[in-house]
Structure 1
């Protein structure tokens, strides 16, 4: 049986996914080599994509982009890695898979 805490986590995750912008970020990060230019620092697979590339592709203010990335990170869908003063984001595939499984089991 799912606890109240489990349901709260599911609600937070659903709210994170309720934004078309955040869904787009997750889609782009599924194949970063196809969606972003080569990076000097940071490996696409190990580190993720530089926040600046995400901001440029979204064509949003830095603060707005940061908020979207924070929501996805707080929900566990993204992993943030700091490297050489930059922040890189990659998908947390185990969390995404777990969420899909929990959602399937819970409904």
Structure 2
């Protein structure tokens, strides 16, 4: 991971709400209601459910998700007019390894 990518990832993790989102996305079946258009394991959690669970406005939730996406910590999958987010486990493991090297 380059220095700028590591910096983006650390900035993304510097938010309690974004850390909470990543925690929820570890087990989307346990943390979000059943979804109509996307499988929670394969596609992740619907942005609408993430917004509701965070208790913030849709623009605020979208901003949190964009930061996580830009940092490479989540993967976005558009389906039926919604965006589903899941953790990018290989990227998270790489971040852990890079941090251990610092």
Which residue of 1 is the match for residue 6 of structure 2? 10
Could you tell me how far apart the structure 2 residues matched to 1:74 and 1:47 are?
18
What is the DSSP-based 3-state SS (H/G/I as helix, E as strand, rest coil) of the residue aligned with 1:44?
coil
Which residue of 2 is the match for residue 43 of structure 1? 39
Work out the number of aligned pairs and report it.
102
Root-mean-square deviation (Å): 1.0
Which residue of 2 is the match for residue 52 of structure 1? 48
Q: How does 1:1-107 map to 2 (within 5 A)?
A: 6-105=2-101, 107=102
Unpaired runs of at least 5, structure 2 = none
Deviation at 1:6, TM superposition (A): 1.4
Deviation at 1:45, TM superposition (A): 1.2
Could you tell me how far apart the structure 1 residues matched to 2:59 and 2:36 are?
23
Tell me which stretches of 4 or more aligned residues in structure 1 moved more than 2 Å: none
User: Which is higher, the Rg of structure 1 or of structure 2?
Assistant: 1
TM-score between both structures, scaled by the size of structure 1: 0.92
TM-score between both structures, scaled by the size of structure 2: 0.97
